């Protein structure tokens, strides 16, 4: 089963690691059963529960929206080393590209390619990504929608995890497909359809 790392960076009460783990397991099992993903024991992800200030900053930085949101998902992308490694890697910007570093460029390229392939293989097999949930927003939304808070936590966890697996809701068709998955997972967890 997936491995969940939980980071709590807020004083607002939130679910336990065991609860998040249960919801992640239910989502992964559903996706595997519906042939949406290949089930592997090597999946890892981080769930970070934050306050509104941190979420607002993340939302501004990554989505250009200067307000807190309920959940953000950051799928892991394997490292692809640029041509010319290490010259073009951040931290080497102060080294002029025309300086002879007396380095065997073919050796660097072969080593860099091997490292990139190894890192990509490991990360593709194990690390899914990061999910950030704003605890105050969860509580506010649950209250406004007259839903049990725990149900809304489950919904946003499933929603964020689906984003990590590549689901989105930019178009009506994408939204319908994503919502159908959410409804099915939540139903298995004993939660009614959150969209009615």
What the chain holds in terms of domains, given with CATH numbers, is 3-76+126-188 (3.40.390.30)
pLDDT at residue 97, rounded to an integer: 41
Among residues 61, 190, 78, which one has the least CA distance to residue 132?
A: 61
| Binding-site entries for Zn(2+) | 159, 163, 169
Residue 81 pLDDT: 62
* CA 96/CA 94 separation, integer angstroms: 6
Give the per-residue pLDDT at 78: 75
Q: Name the strand (E) or helix (H) holding 47.
A: strand 44-50
How much is the pLDDT for 125? 61
Q: Per 3-state DSSP, what percentage of the chain is helix, strand, and coil (rounded to 5)? A: 50, 15, 40
Q: Longest Cα pair distance anywhere in the chain, in angstroms? A: 67
Q: Which residue has the tokens 């105050």?
A: 136
Q: Tell me how far apart the alpha carbons of residues 181 and 185 are, in angstroms, rounded to a whole number.
A: 6
156: left (phi over 0), alpha (psi -120 to 50) or beta: alpha
Q: What is the pLDDT of residue 85?
A: 57
User: What is the structure's pLDDT at 9?
Assistant: 97
Backbone angles phi, psi at 13, to 5 degrees: -60, 140
Cβ contacts of residue 192 below 8 Å, gap of 6+? 151, 186
Q: What was the pLDDT predicted at 88?
A: 42
- pTM of the predicted model as reported, rounded to 2 decimal places: 0.77
Q: Which residues are annotated as a binding site?
A: 159, 163, 169
What residue ranges of the chain have pLDDT lower than 70?
36, 38-42, 79-125
pLDDT at 122: 41
């Amino acid at each position: 089963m997936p491995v969940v790392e939980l980071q709590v960076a807020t004083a607002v009460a939130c679910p336990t690691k065991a609860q998040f783990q249960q919801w992640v397991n239910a989502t992964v099992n559903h996706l595997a059963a519906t042939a949406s993903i290949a089930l592997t024991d090597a999946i890892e992800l981080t769930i970070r529960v934050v306050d509104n200030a941190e979420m607002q900053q993340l939302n501004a930085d990554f989505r250009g929206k200067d307000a807190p949101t309920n959940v953000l998902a950051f799928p892991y992308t394997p490292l692809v080393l640029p041509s010319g490694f290490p010259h073009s890697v951040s931290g080497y910007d102060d080294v002029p590209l025309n300086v002879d570093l007396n380095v065997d460029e073919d050796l660097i390229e072969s080593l860099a390619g091997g490292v990139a392939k190894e890192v990509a293989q490991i990360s593709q097999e194990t690390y899914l990504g990061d999910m950030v949930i704003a605890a105050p927003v969860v509580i506010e939304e649950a209250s406004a929608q007259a839903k049990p808070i725990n149900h809304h936590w489950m919904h946003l966890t499933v929603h964020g995890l689906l984003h990590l697996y590549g689901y989105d809701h930019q178009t009506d068709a994408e939204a319908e497909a994503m919502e159908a998955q959410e409804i099915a997972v939540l139903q298995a967890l004993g939660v009614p359809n959150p969209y009615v």
